[in-house]
Amino acid sequence: MNPAASLTVAVLAGGHSRRMGRDKAALPLGPERLLQRVVRRLRPYAAAVLVVARTGDAYPWAGAPVVADRYPERGPLGGIATALHHAATPLLAAVACDMPFVSGPLLHHLARHLLQHPHDDIALPRDAHDIQPLHAVYRVERARPAFVAALARPRASIRAAFGGLRVRVFPAADLAAFDPARAFWNINTPADYRALREALGLPPEPSAGPTEVSP
């Protein structure tokens, strides 16, 4: 089976962007915004791309359908559970909206592994520091109930959903062809944003007051 035909990609954009001081998803990058860039990079590698946001009417310019987070204030765990609810394909990739170099080829590689290894439930990359559950691929049928069950535990994280699932971890050394250091880079602070603009050859952003961010 073609990995792209079996894969929905969910871009999680429901965070509060507190360290940035403004909505990360809407950060301008030349003719597009950060969320648009992530969606554009992933669209060729999936049957569908959707955005999980605080409300369903957020980001009308995203370039992909936006669904409301079913589990607000539960962080990425709730975002992935929401995406698993909406996915109409056997596999789901979950990524963060603040990963400007998110790798469609890497997600394609992870999806192919799950298609070829039906006993594995999650294809999970790891860099030199930690696992990367927001650049991973999940088997929808088995992951959906596991994530919903994890949400029943107060203050649970994504890792809480992994206990009953078979996880295949891919170390960074096995993913060198996909440039994981760049693929996993996320933009959290104004300094990160300035570094990204420089990396993309964009001029410094004109001075502007911060946009409103949810408390």
Q: Which residues of 161-200 are buried (b: 16+ CB within 10 A; e: fewer)?
A: bbeebebbebebeebeebebeebbbbbeeeebbeebbeee
Mean pLDDT of 17-28: 89
Q: Which residue has the higher pLDDT, 211 or 53?
A: 53
Residue span of the structural domain in which 135 resides: 4-199
- Angle of helix 104-116 relative to helix 34-42, nearest 10 degrees, comes to 40
Residues of the chain with pLDDT > 70, as a percent, come to 96
Answer whether residue 83 is part of any domain: yes
Residue 213's pLDDT band, with cuts at 50, 70 and 90, is: very low
Three-class HEC string of 20-44: CCCCHHHCEECCEEHHHHHHHHHHH
In the predicted model, what is the mean pLDDT of residues 107-136?
96
Q: Give the pLDDT of residue 207.
A: 65
- Across residues 167-189, what is the average pLDDT? 93
Residue 209 belongs to a domain? no
Average pLDDT estimate for 22-39: 95
Would you say residue 56 lies in a domain?
yes
Does the pLDDT of residue 210 top 70, yes or no?
no
More confident residue, 5 or 205: 5
Is 10 contained in some domain? yes
Q: Is the dihedral of CA 20, 25, 26, 27 positive or negative?
A: positive
Task: Assign residue 19 the CATH number of its domain.
Answer: 3.90.550.10
Per the prediction, the chain carries an average pLDDT of 92
In a domain, 26, yes or no: yes
Whether 111 is in a domain gets the answer yes
Name the pTM for this structure: 0.92
Q: Which of residues 108 and 2 earns the better pLDDT score?
A: 108
Specify the DSSP class assigned to residue 121: -
Q: How confident is the model at residue 128 (pLDDT cuts 50, 70, 90)?
A: confident
